[in-house]
Structure 1
Amino acid sequence: MTYKETVELSMIPSVNNIEGHLIDKDFFPVLKTAIIYGANASGKSSLIKSMDFARSYILDNSTLSPLLNYSYRLDKEKQNQESVFSFEIKTGREIYQYGFSVIFNKAMVQEEWLYELTKEICIFHRERTEDGISLKEHLKNMSAEELSRLRIYEEDQASSDHSLLITKLGSISYGKGMFWDSCKEVFTWFKRLTIFFPNTKFNLLSAVYGNEKEVNILYKEYFKIFGIDIDNIHLKEVPIEYLTVNPEFLSEINKSLLDKKNEGTKGMLNINGKEYLFEINDEDRLTAKEVKFRHRVNDYTAEFSKDEESDGTQRLFDLIPPYARVILSGGVLIVDEIDRNLHSLLTTMIFRNFLSSEGEQNRQLICTTHDVKMINLSLLRPDEIWFINRNRNEASSLYPLAKYRVEYPDNAEINYLNGMYQGIPDFNFNE
């Protein structure tokens, strides 16, 4: 990772004379969006990857291993020190701080904590000391049976160097009260956190097979918003003999699916960029179907395969489902390189739509980008625009545009390109 010291991405508004883009402004306001700029290799993707690691590790403790090292490796001493991951999250009227620290080269959890900040209550805090594992927790109103069960979980954790307590406590349906509810709420928040990378793919083939009508309703809504002219998405049978694949391999697929025909098993295969669904028909013959996209111009229609669509359209095929889910149901969507293969105006439209859409309002969109047109103070607040600057000793820092006094908002984009806010390539780096 590129972060030698602690960095913080804060969604708490820091500019008090601007009212828009706030969630729950009457209780504890937080910002709806954040967009992060920086030169190549400055640490933008590393920031997102660190969040993704924390999420994956919380949901599945097997993620941590001696082969994985997200520590700052440009300083020998830092590799033997703790790496800290901390989140402050809001669920309803509760605000929690959950975090943990690990020593990567030992695959060891050093510390883990969960606090309810509004009530100033420690739900639990465990720490590895010279004498073993130190643990304190909030036990108010916990029955003897619940306490006994909790002690069993704690003993399991004490015998494991790489396990997190939240993973066990948040995933079980046991116990009621503040302790158990807090663990479940925080664990559920991480389950709903969606992180989207440039290579993240949505299984459109499976979705169309499962519910073609619902898929078309979803995509048509956003195709209309984003100016895409696709009229229909459907599965079309393709003659097996047209497929450019080894006949022996097809024979193996046929045999495997025949053996599992009663289970309704189907196969999916990507061949030269085209995605096919294989299944056995009523005559026990192997059939293949491909996702097709119908374009209409007046009364004329033409069909295209997925790989024949533009790179930008293919990017939208993958991005629309998680984007629509957050719009409808709330949660946090984090996108690394949101502008990848997208026109600058389309990137802007995504943010405009996100900020103006109805539906669940407790939603956030956090992105990295190189699209400088988004440094637009008529679209975003200065505390929603962030920069990562990697200095000459190779360490990265993170800070908002709100750190600067912007006298002429229309010039913010030019000021950034001229280096006023840093976070741009340094072409004299080796001098």
Structure 2
Amino acid sequence: MLLSFRFANHRSFRDEQQLNLTPAYHGAGESEPAVRVVGIFGANASGKSNCLHALSFMRRLVIFSDREVEPGLGIAREPFRLTLESLEAPSHYVVDLSLDGIRHTYGFALDDNGVVEEWLYHYPRKRRRRVFERSGDSYTWGEDSGQRALLERIAEVTATTALFLSTVTRFGHGVPDDTEGEPLLGVYRWFQGIYGRDNPGLRPTVARGLAWPDSEASRHTVVELLRAADVGIVDVVMMPATAPDEPSLLLRPSDLSAVNDRTFLTGSLRHGERRQRQRLMFVHQGSPAEVLFELAEESTGTQQLLGLAVKAAEVLSSGGTMCVDEIDASLHPLLTAKLVGLFQSAASNPRHSQLIFTSHDAALLGTIDTEEILRRDEIWFTEKDADGRSTLYPLTDFKPRKEGENRQRRYLNGNYGAVPDLSTYLFEQALAARGQVDDEATS
């Protein structure tokens, strides 16, 4: 699980920021080290997306820096650009993780030329132990490293523009999955388990039918989300692409059951079986029979919802962290609340997967049937100052009102900040200027 994420000098964030997922409140029987859901709210261009982008940037370097970044070409980072000092200063990225109940801290600093620093610590028995520290091309290893010779050989081939963590997982086939090797591989696998959606839309793999979940539990989650969305879909099936190519197939209920039994595929093929091209078909309740629709016949909103639902089901099933920018661009607030509830629930989220999203929708700060959608320690805000610097801060910085707290109203009233400073005068001036231009054009 992600315990915290710290970063500095990235896009609109000049100073160090921390997204702290440590619970501020523990209910009866609760002992988890981190919350499972975080919602980040704020005005347009306040830094919400940049916060997720910083984590995505860190992931991309961990996974690909040993292959994508060429020595001598530097690193294509995105520092804060509104001061000269920031353009020259390093950018920093640090994650605190809980892996199998053990805390790990991994981070690095880089400038335009390459990696300045990199480090990894873990805390077995609650005491910090160094796995490695890097300063430029110099390395210091943990005191009890039984694989030091292997790690030193890998360090020698690690490029200045590449992370050691990336290189060791590519070339370190002899690093054991225990002792000092476990922190390296464990942290790398955590980054592999991050799913990020930078903008709304259907992922191409879903459109080709290649990402339809393998497990029955995941497929059930997807179908339940589609049913809850009230988009008219009652089921989703996978069928061979060689089936009759018609815009929609009107079938009697008995026929539909027979086709399902014979030819519809519900997951990836087993080893040794002949691979077939497949396509998703969506079952709508017609009168009197059920009708199959192609993916292209569904609305754009339904396609976006499907892409999000498939990935959410996968993350809930396998474990990981799901980051969604502008979740309200795909989901109605009631659907977002349902998705949040799936991640919050121990029953539907037994692997402690996490959901981090950004939104403009103040309704998510409120309640449904008197139940809070998000707890106080699951709500964060971003705000940009007059110098263009973004700040990230939690709702827990504000004391709750003794007589009750209408978060939605207080947020829209600006009590928490993170709302746009709208100028009615400037809007009126802009409209007046446009009217003058139109009058001159027609005269």
Q: Deviations over 1:44-89 (max 9, x none)?
A: 1111111111101101114446472311111122111100011001
1:365-413 Cα offsets, whole Å, 9 max, x none, are: 1110111111136232211100000011100000011100120544111
CA distance in 2, matches of 1:241, 1:374: 41
Tell me the distance in 2 between the aligned counterparts of 1:153 and 1:317: 42
- TM-score by structure 1 length? 0.78
The corresponding residue for 2:391 is 397
The normalised TM-score by structure 2 is 0.76
What is the CA distance between 1:32 and its match in structure 2?
1.2
Number of the residue aligned with 1:198 = 199
Residue 209 of structure 1: CA displacement? 9.4
- The alpha-carbon deviation at position 197 of structure 1 amounts to 2.4
Q: Relative to structure 1, is the Cα distance of residues 98 and 38 closer, same or farther in structure 2, using a 3 angstrom cutoff? A: same
**What amino acid maps onto 1:152 in structure 2?**
R
Q: How many residues end up aligned between the 2 structures?
A: 373
Query: Is the contact made by 2:38 and 2:355 (CA closer than 8 Å) also made in structure 1?
Result: yes
CA contact (8 A) 1:170 1:188 kept: no
Superposition pairs for residues 27-426 of structure 1, below 5 Å? 29-61=33-65, 62-64=67-69, 66=74, 68-103=76-111, 105-106=112-113, 108-117=114-123, 118-128=126-136, 133-140=137-144, 142=146, 146-157=147-158, 160-171=159-170, 172-176=172-176, 177-199=178-200, 201=203, 203-207=205-209, 217=220, 219-230=222-233, 231-235=235-239, 237=242, 291-356=280-345, 358=347, 359-376=349-366, 378-407=372-401, 408-426=403-421
Change (3 A) 1:430 1:68: farther
Superimposed CA distance per residue, residues 98-157 of structure 1 (whole angstroms, 9 cap, x where no aligned partner): 001111x33x110000011432111111012xxxx3321114151xxx332222111112
In structure 2, how many angstroms separate the alpha carbons of the residues matched to 1:428 and 1:199?
A: 29
Aligned identity (percent) is 26
Distance 2:314 2:79 in 1: 33
Matched residue, 1:249: none
Q: Return the alpha-carbon distance in structure 2 between the equivalents of residues 213 and 190 of structure 1.
A: 23
Aligned residue number for residue 245 of structure 1: none
Q: 1:305 to 1:409 in 2, by over 3 A?
A: farther
Match of 1:299, as an amino acid?
P
User: Residues of 1 paired with 2:13 and 2:213: CA distance?
Assistant: 44
Q: Specify the code of the residue in structure 2 equivalent to 1:415.
A: R
Q: Which residue of 1 aligns with 2:266?
A: none
**RMSD across aligned C-alpha pairs, in angstroms?**
3.1
Q: Are the aligned partners of 2:205 and 2:211 in contact in 1 as well (CA < 8 Å)? A: no
- Report the secondary structure of 2:366's partner residue: coil
Counterpart residue number, 1:5: 15
Give the SS at the match of 1:96.
strand
Q: Aligned-pair distance for 1:174?
A: 1.7
Question: 8 Å contact 1:85–1:99 — kept in the other structure?
Answer: yes
Shift of 1:238: 8.2
Question: 1:205: Cα distance to partner?
Answer: 4.2
Q: Return 5+ residue gaps in structure 2 as ranges.
A: 1-10, 248-273, 427-443
- Quick check: 1:295–1:303 contact (8 Å CA) kept in 2? yes
